[in-house]
Structure 1
Amino acid sequence: MLSKRVKYILLGLVALLVGYILYDASEEPGIDDLKGTYKEVAMYRNENNTGPIIRIYAVTVSDTTRWDEMRQYGDLMLYTKYGNTKVYFFPADKPAPLELFRKQPNFDRKFEPYCLALYEKDAMSQVTFRRKPFGTVQ
């Protein structure tokens, strides 16, 4: 049988461990830590839960010169192993799609001239980040 002192020490260690886990979880970087203003304006996720999960996002950006941050934003988005995640970035002051589709093109072609960048993480976890994927941005 353990003495009261040992029980209190063990209880204290458990409380300390739980406190550390909570602190560590709250310190994870997130989208709110990025300096630019990002707003998700459209999202698509396929309903097929037996195959690869496909996620497509359209996001507006206030600062259109923060390429590294756009890539970080993409890295922070949900991803499922063997799935695919795409994030299209658009300037906040220009038109952006409000509806996305699974098949290419993922949105109405009239928005292509406004697309700043495309972040994609494919089924093999390979990341590609392309600036101006449809040519010159208006």
Structure 2
Amino acid sequence: MKNPTSYLFYAIIFIVVFLIVWIGKESFTQPGVNDLDLEFEEMAFYRNENNTGPVIRVYAVYAADTSWAVLKEYGELMPHTKYGNTKVYFFDSKENSPKRTFPEEPYFEGEYQQYCIAKYEKSSMGDVTFVKYPFRDSERNSN
């Protein structure tokens, strides 16, 4: 008959191997923007080169549809740095999406503002705002 401590040893080894496999699987199967139901295409991106202060990221993204929940989820999946600011502007047309973004507001050429269907922003303190039609005052609606 085997020693009971050997059973305990093998049980502990089994549990450790199981946890390593489970943690490894979870690490490599995180959800991303490619898992969303809509077609997205990043048209322009700006990130300042200041790594010692607040990191500012500005994205101009084409979205094939205006599913507000999916647009907000896309914004939540974008990179964000503590004490940084991430802004994602969504456009419903590739042709009417900016091809360049800039470090200062309005972050892209004014001619594209009328085509912006939503804006997602995560502030330096982690506060999230999602605004539908951010440049159309009569249709402004925050969630």
Q: TM-score range by the shorter chain?
A: 0.7 to 0.9
TM-score (norm 1): 0.87
Which residue of structure 2 lines up, in the alignment, with residue 48 of structure 1? Answer: 50
CA displacement at 1:54 relative to structure 2? 0.5
**Cα distance change of structure 1 residues 102 and 76 upon mapping to structure 2, 3 Å threshold:** same
Which residue of structure 2 lines up, in the alignment, with residue 132 of structure 1? Answer: 133
Deviation digits for residues 6-37 of structure 1 (CA, Å, limit 9, x no counterpart): 55433322210111112323443221221111
Out of 88-97 and 73-82, give the one that drifted further.
Answer: 88-97
d(CA) in 1 for partners of 2:119, 2:33:
17
SS in 1 for 2:105: coil
Out of 5-14 and 15-24, give the one that drifted further.
Answer: 5-14
Counterpart contact for 1:44–1:100, Cα < 8 Å: yes
TM-score (norm 2): 0.84
d(CA) in 2 for partners of 1:19, 1:28:
15
Deviation digits for residues 81-138 of structure 1 (CA, Å, limit 9, x no counterpart): 111000000013541111111101100111111101110111111111111111179x
d(CA) in 2 for partners of 1:94, 1:116:
14
d(CA) in 1 for partners of 2:92, 2:54:
30
**Cα distance change of structure 1 residues 39 and 93 upon mapping to structure 2, 3 Å threshold:** closer
Counterpart contact for 1:62–1:91, Cα < 8 Å: yes
Amino acid at match of 1:37: E
Q: Identity percentage over the alignment? A: 43
Which residue of structure 1 lines up, in the alignment, with residue 25 of structure 2? Answer: 23
Amino acid at match of 1:42: A
Q: Which has the larger radius of gyration?
A: 2
Counterpart contact for 1:94–1:114, Cα < 8 Å: no
Amino acid at match of 1:22: G
SS in 2 for 1:88: strand
1:38 and 2:45 aligned: no
The runs of 5 or more residues in structure 1 that have no matched partner are: none
C-alpha RMSD of the superposition: 2.0
Q: How many residues align?
A: 134
